[in-house]
Amino acid sequence: MAMPFPSSFVVTLGVLLVVGVIVQQGEAKAIRAFFVFGDSLVDSGNNNYLATTARADSPPYGIDYPTRRPTGRFSNGLNIPDLISQRLGGESVLPYLSPQLRGDKLLVGANFASAGIGILNDTGTQFLNIIRMYRQLDYFQEYQERVSSRIGVAKTKTLVNKALVLITVGGNDFVNNYYLVPYSARSRQYSLPDYVKFLIIEYRKLLQRVYDLGGRRVIVTGTGPLGCVPAELAMRGGTNGECSDELQRAAALYNPQLLHMLQGLNNKIGKNVFIAANTGQMHTNFITNPTAYGFTTSKVACCGQGPYNGLGLCTPLSNLCPNRKLYAFWDSFHPSEKANKLIVNQIMSGSTRFMNPMNLTTILALDASKS
């Protein structure tokens, strides 16, 4: 991977749609925009425009992307937002900082995600200039002002209210904050259970702001099995490749509380605005039984060096596997394109064990019946 910062694995939040034209009974229905917030798991290139070390803009990133070139995605190919857009027949939304995001392209939506960020403002400080969550939401407000100048306030409100939103954040608050160094500031301040509660409280504030800014269909992903990614196997895992118990404990505490918080927000609002994506379970399935999903390994990263290819950055000098489809992890933290496809399959059609209270296919059908 391009740097030590897993992003909360989840396709929960946002997932989706890139503003495609939904056609029903031969007639074009409402255009639906797609907005993406979060970290490196869903960043499509915003960090390319920033002075930061959290970048994926050099080979071999993008080796399997349609252009065969790096784009700023922390993947060998397509990431989760791309794959959701593809499944829905739309084009990928552009990074908000891209100069190409102007004119009618604004109406498709935007990707505000930035690699390295977390729920907390002090997460990822080692990466310097990144777009923290509060700033991503500021940009979302700015985006609406830009669109309003083109199509008016009323139509902009409708566009945002009918959009799909994906939010993937949280993993870095553990890997690149609490557990970044021994006796980190946050680990001295909070026990792990109290830190998780603190994260949930702060995340709730961010999600409330998403709602206040007009988000009405918001997929929120949980964090993946943090202790099982190649970087943590190399640095903290057992002698026989066992996952890191402490990081697994963090994920096990965090994900159920995230689901409970989302349910509480929906109860307060009176409708199912926030959809929980259990990306942790989605990952666990192919991590514990990789051969069942066509992988030869879920421990060794395709690109990297050191034990499990889990140390350092993914660069032209790294070990590089010849067949990315056989690896669950592309780099030390991020899933391969094939693994991302498995996750998106669950987002689209998974049971309530994976998507609560409903999957994306159900959401799309439900919303289409109302339009």
Evaluated on CA atoms 286, 289, 292, 297, the torsion sign reads: positive
- 278-335 pLDDT, tens per residue? 999 999 999 999 999 999 999 999 999 999 999 988 999 999 999 999 999 999 999 9
Tell me, what CATH number does 347's domain have? 3.40.50.1110
The CA distance from 353 to 346, in Å, is 10
Separation of alpha carbons 175 and 178, rounded Å: 7
**Is 20 inside any structural domain?**
no
305: left (phi over 0), alpha (psi -120 to 50) or beta: beta
Asked if the structure places residue 266 within a domain, the reply is yes
Does the residue 3 lie in any domain?
no
The predicted model gives 222-243 an average pLDDT of 93
Domain annotation covers residue 28: no
Pairwise CA distance, residues 54 & 63, whole Å: 18
pLDDT of residue 103: 93
Percent of the chain exceeding pLDDT 70 equals: 91
Q: Residue 371 has what pLDDT?
A: 66
- Residue 2 located in a structural domain: no
Q: What is the pLDDT of residue 49?
A: 97
Q: What is the mean pLDDT of residues 118-140?
A: 97
At residue 31, the pLDDT reads: 59
Segment 6-53, tens digit of pLDDT: 444 433 333 333 333 333 333 334 458 999 999 999 999 999 999 999
Name the active-site residue from 7, 283, 334, 336: 334
Distances (CA, A) of 154 to 102, 139, 159: 19, 19, 9
Residue 206 lies in a domain: yes
Residue 168 belongs to domain spanning: 34-369
Mark whether 334 is an active-site residue.
yes
Beta strands in the chain (DSSP E): 21-24, 27-31, 34-38, 109-111, 164-168, 218-221, 274-277, 303-304, 319-320, 355-356
- pLDDT tens-digit readout, 148-205: 999 999 999 999 999 999 999 999 999 999 999 999 999 999 999 999 999 999 999 9
If you ran DSSP here, which 8-state letter would residue 90 be given? -
Amino acid residing at 120: L
pTM of the model: 0.91
260 carries an active-site annotation: no
- Tell me how many domains the chain contains: 1
- pLDDT-derived band at 239 (thresholds 50, 70, 90) equals confident
Q: Is residue 23 part of a domain?
A: no
What pLDDT does residue 1 have?
37
Considering only CA atoms, which of 227, 257, 253 is closest in space to residue 242?
Answer: 227
Closest CA to 87 of 353, 343, 357: 343
Alpha helix stretches (DSSP H) within 162-191:
171-173, 185-189
Mean pLDDT of 243-254: 96
3-state secondary structure of 220: strand
361-371, pLDDT tens digit by residue? 999 999 988 86
Q: Average pLDDT for residues 251-264, to the nearest whole number?
A: 98
The answer to whether 331 is a known catalytic residue is yes
* CA 71 – CA 337 distance, rounded (Å): 14
pLDDT digits (tens, 9 = 90+) for 337-369: 999 999 999 999 999 999 999 999 999 999 988
Indicate whether 241 pLDDT > 90: no
- Smallest CA-to-CA distance from 6 within 370, 335, 341, 369 is with 335
Active-site choice (92, 331, 332, 336): 331
Asked whether 91 and 18 are in contact (CB, 8 A), the reply is yes
Distance of alpha carbon 65 from alpha carbon 61, whole angstroms: 8
Q: What is the mean pLDDT of the chain?
A: 91
Q: What is the pLDDT of residue 240?
A: 85
What is the model's pLDDT at position 28?
36
Cα(68)–Cα(70) distance, rounded to whole angstroms?
A: 7
Q: How many Å apart are CA 106 and CA 1, to the nearest integer?
A: 30
Res 89: pLDDT: 74
Which entry of 40, 75, 98, 332 is annotated as an active-site residue?
40
Residue 85: its pLDDT value, please?
Answer: 87
